[in-house]
Structure 1
Amino acid sequence: MELTRFITEDGVEVIVETGDDEPAIIPVARGADGIADAAATLDSGLDRITAVAGTAVRRLRAMAQRPDEITVELGVRLNASVGAVIARSESEGHLAVTLVWRSGNADTPDS
């Protein structure tokens, strides 16, 4: 187990348990308490994740048969060198999408 200190853009310190097997780990500074200091802010890492989610939702809303509900699920893993990354599920990146059409909607796929 590895502990990493992330700082938010508001200056709040967040300690996160990160795995020893993190991809793309580069040497990062360690404080006197033995906790690694992340190379990026938590905010900057999460900005990448929210950009992915936003793009997915925008593209799905543009479908010809627009769903009534869109759920986008991202597995997020915090990484000491890059902030936040989309976590893998098995051997692939993790992005689950659920689209819902309610009955009675004129734009449902059954229409």
Structure 2
Amino acid sequence: MTDLVQFPLSNGGSVLVEVDAAHRIAPAGRAADVLDRARASLEDALSGVVGAAEAALHRFRDMDKAPDEVELKFGVKLDVEAGAFIAKTGVQGQLEVKLRWRRDDSIVPEEVEESAE
């Protein structure tokens, strides 16, 4: 079962997000109300996840031999009380990282031909 949560946006709008139904006791008459309002804006809820992505990205870029490309991939779940968090797969959190290095010697300089006059 799922619920809808309304996350306010900093520009004054809002977005509805489908979330897993919380296992909580609702006051009488609350059962018909399927729309919860989040405690924080969507931007505020995502700030922790964005901070985690930035920290991971900076760590990989600060390697002795920094990769040419860094790709971070993870699922984000939204919750009316907890905000946003990195989703788990199985029993562990998920953060997929791809690092790519290009060979430095892959670029061959052009040979310059000398012309004899």
TM-score, scaled relative to structure 1: 0.80
Higher-Rg structure is 2
Query: Percent identity between the aligned chains?
Result: 35
- Map of 1:44 onto structure 2: 44
- 1:2 aligns to 2:3 (yes or no): yes
Contact 2:3 2:34 in 1 (8 A): no
Q: How does 1:51-62 map to 2 (within 5 A)?
A: 51-62=51-62
1:60–1:105 CA distance, 2 compared to 1 (3 A): farther
Which residues of structure 2 form unaligned runs of 5+? 107-117
Q: How does 1:17-28 map to 2 (within 5 A)?
A: 17-20=18-21
Measured after TM superposition, the shift of residue 26 of structure 1 is: 9.4
- Map of 2:70 onto structure 1: 70
1:46 maps to a residue whose letter is L
Larger RCO (CA under 8 A, 6+ residues apart): 1
Measured after TM superposition, the shift of residue 73 of structure 1 is: 0.9
Question: Per-residue CA shift, 1:23-61, capped at 9, x if unaligned?
Answer: xx797xx7x963011112111111111111000000100
Contact 1:26 1:81 in 2 (8 A): no
Contact 2:3 2:21 in 1 (8 A): yes
**Which segments of structure 1 move beyond 4 Å, counting only runs of 4 or more?**
none
1:61–1:35 CA distance, 2 compared to 1 (3 A): same
1:86–1:105 CA distance, 2 compared to 1 (3 A): farther
TM-score, scaled relative to structure 2: 0.76
Number of aligned pairs?
Answer: 101
2:18 maps to a residue whose letter is E
For 1:98 and 1:78, locate their aligned partners in 2 and report how far apart those are by CA, in whole Å.
25
Measured after TM superposition, the shift of residue 72 of structure 1 is: 0.8
- Map of 2:12 onto structure 1: 11
